[in-house]
Structure 1
Amino acid sequence: MKTLIIGPSWVGDMMMSQSLYRTLKAENPAVEIDVMAPAWCRPLLARMPEVNQALPMPLGHGSLAIGQRYQLGKQLRAEKYQHGIVLPNSFKSALVPFFANIPKRTGWRGEMRYGLLNDLRVLDKSAFPLMVQRYVALAYDKQKIQSALDIPQPILWPQLSVTQSEITETTHRFNLNSDRLTIGFCPGAEFGPAKRWPHYHYAELAKNLIEQGYQIALFGSAKDRQAGDDITHTLPTEMQAYCHNLAGSTELEQAVILIASCAAVISNDSGLMHIAAALNKPLIALYGPSSPDFTPPLSNDAKVIRLITGYHKVRKGDAQQGYHQSLIDIQPERVLNELNLLLASKGIK
């Protein structure tokens, strides 16, 4: 069966969607899965063996462009897809499978998608509390799965693999010290400083880890570069050579490989956190206003630290530099202790 999936537009969501692809393959090994998503997703999709090909979505995240979506769907008719699954909840995301004349079009009800989707699911959020459960449920007949309790266990979590030769080549290219193990920091967050652990806490943790004999690699996009500089410049001058700010200097493909090279990762709630989880890295995930109750790191090697409960829709914290108080209150000593326990459980010293 040829299946077209309209994928998500965010790194974390794209990573969690792999659980759906893995489930489809487990249920029907002959299924051929194509994923339509923004072009930047290709490095992630290329590392998912369940995906036959990544089809670039040429239209921007907020663009309706019905005419262009019609032409895109019309071009796909020749592929003769038998099943389409739409993961975003928007009206526009359901247009391409409809215009492609895919006979079965599956997705959650979302915004005004009657007719566009003919295998429409009505979401009871309490029955599917996790995003990954909502994705995986779409792999099954809707009469079979009424809640997350009906999904066969265990859910197949995202898994990315990187070769040792890729790690050797890429760490050399970015001048990481081969004599020290690397701890990765992901200090950015898509929606601003309210979801970030303060840079001065990251710097204090980095200082302790460098004293223990590690080096630090800071990951993120170009807009996280300043957060990385703030961490590096807070360190004593003699330690700064062991803290590599790679934010904005790597392509996503390179970041995946470099994260795979790390002994462990410390991350805010971010897309890179989900990549680290899919690489099975020992991971400390730091949460503030956003909640791990919906999108936790999907890994047995992850430890979530959060001091508050519930979801708080906060774009900027009230504290200095926009940090949220609940993240300020997570002390570096606690993170270091949890990290050392994780490393010890993996035989890393």
Structure 2
Amino acid sequence: MPYKSILVINTMHIGDLLLITPALRTLRANYPQARISLLTDKTLADLVRENPCIDECLTIDKHGADKGLFALLRFIRRLRARHFDLVINLHRNERCSAITAFCGAKERIGYAQPGFGHFYTKCYPNLAMADTPKKLATKHQVTVHLDMLQKALGLKKIDDRGLEMTIPEAAEREAARLWQKMLDETAAAVRTSSSEQSDAATPRPVIAFNIGASWATKRWIDTYFAQCADQLIEEGYAVAFFGGPTDVPIVDACLAQMREKNSPHCHVFTGRVTLAVLAGLLSRCALMLTTDSGPMHIGVSQNLPLVTMFGASPVPTFYPYDARDVLLKTPEPCHPCGIHDCPKQGDEHMACMKKIPVEEVMKYVHELLGKYGGKAARELPRENADEKGQHACRIVEL
């Protein structure tokens, strides 16, 4: 059916939003003449605002003007006035389900909370979000989205080029300014150190560290991150810590354990930049050492090779969507638990993360740095699929 206006909805987390970008590209490939709108949360809009596959980015202020039942009803009324031909819900929560069910579109498809699906034209389960982590499908969330669209709409073409994010111009300028400021301050500090005089003129490749995560069970041990950072600085690299405001205490605790915390090659951006500026900074890094988190998916969107450690997270459905990347996990019987705090005590507390040793992580860090020459992500060819066109990362079970 030749739709004239399409609305795609995903108002949740950083990673969830970036994982729909292959679906946006696929919709554009199948409906080149349609006006495609994307509805997302106001705080996340910069991740998708410049996406070339959409015509406009609509926002909902979930924690402000659009908070509460009556505000949501007013918001839905405004959407009804747009008379969309097709609305696609790509997140199975109450708010997205309600908007899709009552937006007045001719066709309403996608995922839904129980009850709302009765008001859809076609409703499907999100096979990447089962009732318990043990029952999760073996397909990645991106693939589940694409399969659902193909089944619901009979699409003739799947155009999956991995995760994509175009950085807004203002954010790119700010990232460039902050990066140059970092380089200038490093060079000035190095020039005052007699032991590093020869290092002042040549900037070191920068390794991005994202050590925070929304759940404690997704975080690798801070002592281990500190050891990796020290080793990389001593080997001739620079490190830069990223993350949001809630990650500041986590990063501070890690820095306190580092020998090289006062090195001019140790930089901290945690809690200081927007998501869009973060993307610009990550595009200038050579590699990312990260937990399963929103910044991990931003790194993938910026073509940044990465090494990640998975604890509570289900690997098959949320791994970094890039064939170059490496994911490490342990064969704990409770993996993936999908819970926020580990209930075990003693040595078994957070065993899934404790049993991923620094030596193993650094082996793959060195492998990727050697393979890609320590070049900035933006200088690398965008080849994040394997020879079969698949985007599955390498999974190492220790």
TM range, normalised to the smaller chain?
A: 0.7 to 0.9
1:15 corresponds to which of 15, 18, 21: 18
Q: Structure 1 residues 154 and 99 mapped into 2: Cα distance closer, same or farther (>3 Å)?
A: closer
What 5-or-longer segments of structure 1 have no aligned partner?
A: 146-150
Residues of 1 paired with 2:44 and 2:300: CA distance? Answer: 17
Matches within 5 A, 1:224-303: 224-236=247-259, 239-303=262-326
* 2-structure distance, mates of 1:348, 1:58: 40
Distance in structure 2 (CA, Å) of the matches to 1:320 and 1:12: 32
1:114 aligns with 2:137: no
**CA RMSD across the alignment:** 2.9
> Which is worse superposed, 281-290 or 120-129?
120-129
Which among 44, 47, 50 is matched to residue 47 of structure 2? Answer: 44
* Distance in 2, Cα, partners of 1:83 & 1:174: 47
Gaps of 5+ in 2: 129-135, 188-202, 376-398
Structure 1, 200-209 or 84-93: larger mean CA deviation: 84-93
- Aligned pair partner of 1:181 in 180, 205, 210: 205
Amino acid corresponding to residue 20 of structure 1 in structure 2: A
1:76 aligns to 2:105 (yes or no): no
Separation of aligned partners in 2, 1:237 and 1:174: 17
CA positional deviation for 1:95? 2.4
The verdict on how the C-alpha distance between 1:174 and 1:38 changes in structure 2, with shifts beyond 3 A counting, is farther
The whole-number CA distance in structure 1 between the counterparts of 2:372 and 2:319 is 21
Q: In the alignment, is residue 343 of structure 1 matched against residue 366 of structure 2?
A: no
Deviates more, 1:288-297 or 1:179-188: 288-297
Which residue number in structure 1 is paired with residue 381 of structure 2?
Answer: none
Match of 2:164 among 134, 154, 159: 159
* Alpha carbons 2:146, 2:158 under 8 Å: kept: no
CA distance in 2, matches of 1:137, 1:87: 12
Shift of 1:190: 0.5
Structure 2 residue identity aligned to 1:159: E
Supply the distance in 1 between the matched residues of 2:118 and 2:261 (Cα, whole angstroms).
64
Counterpart amino acid of residue 97 in structure 2: A
Shift, 1:98, TM fit: 3.9
| Contact 2:137–2:316 (8 Å) recurs in 1 | no
Q: Distance in 2 between matches of 1:154 and 1:49?
A: 14
TM-score (norm 1): 0.88
Deviation digits for residues 160-181 of structure 1 (CA, Å, limit 9, x no counterpart): 2458866532312456747121
| Pair 322,269 (structure 1): closer, same or farther in 2 beyond 3 Å | farther
Look up the match of 1:137.
Answer: 147
Instruction: Give the AA of the match of 2:296.
Output: M
- Distance in 2 (alpha carbons) for counterparts of 1:255 and 1:322: 35
Separation of aligned partners in 1, 2:347 and 2:38? 39
Offset at residue 53 of structure 1 (A): 1.9
Q: What letter is aligned with 1:131? A: Q
Q: Distance in 1 between matches of 2:218 and 2:39?
A: 29
Question: How far apart are 1:92 and its partner, in Å?
Answer: 3.2
Distance 1:221 1:290 in 2: 20
Q: Are 1:195 and 1:324, in contact at CA under 8 Å, matched by a contact in 2?
A: no
SS in 2 for 1:290: coil
Question: Per the alignment, do residues 131 and 237 of structure 1 end up closer, same or farther by CA in structure 2, a change over 3 Å counting?
Answer: closer
The reply on whether 1:333 has 2:383 as its aligned counterpart is: no
Report the TM-score, using the length of structure 2 for normalisation.
0.77
The alignment partner of 1:142 has SS state of helix
Q: Is the 2:219–2:353 contact (alpha carbons within 8 Å) kept by the matching residues of 1?
A: yes
Could you tell me the percent identity over the aligned residues? 20
Instruction: Tell me which moved more, 175-184 or 80-89.
Output: 175-184
Task: Name the CA distance, whole Å, in 1 between partners of 2:51 and 2:163.
Answer: 9
SS at match of 2:316: coil
Q: Which amino acid aligns with 1:267?
A: T
Change (3 A) 1:221 1:64: closer
| Aligned-residue offset at 1:277 | 1.1
Greater Cα offset, 151-160 or 25-34: 151-160
Alpha-carbon distance change, 93 to 154 in structure 1, aligned in 2, over 3 angstroms: closer
CA shift in 2, pair 1:140/1:38, >3 Å? same
Partner Cα separation in structure 2 for residue 127 and residue 307 of structure 1: 19
Aligned equivalents of 1:320, 1:210: Cα separation in 2: 32
What amino acid does structure 2 have at the position aligned with 1:332? V
Q: Do the aligned residues in 2 keep the contact of 1:106 with 1:138 (CA within 8 Å)? A: no
CA–CA distance in structure 1, aligned partners of residues 77 and 43 of structure 2: 24
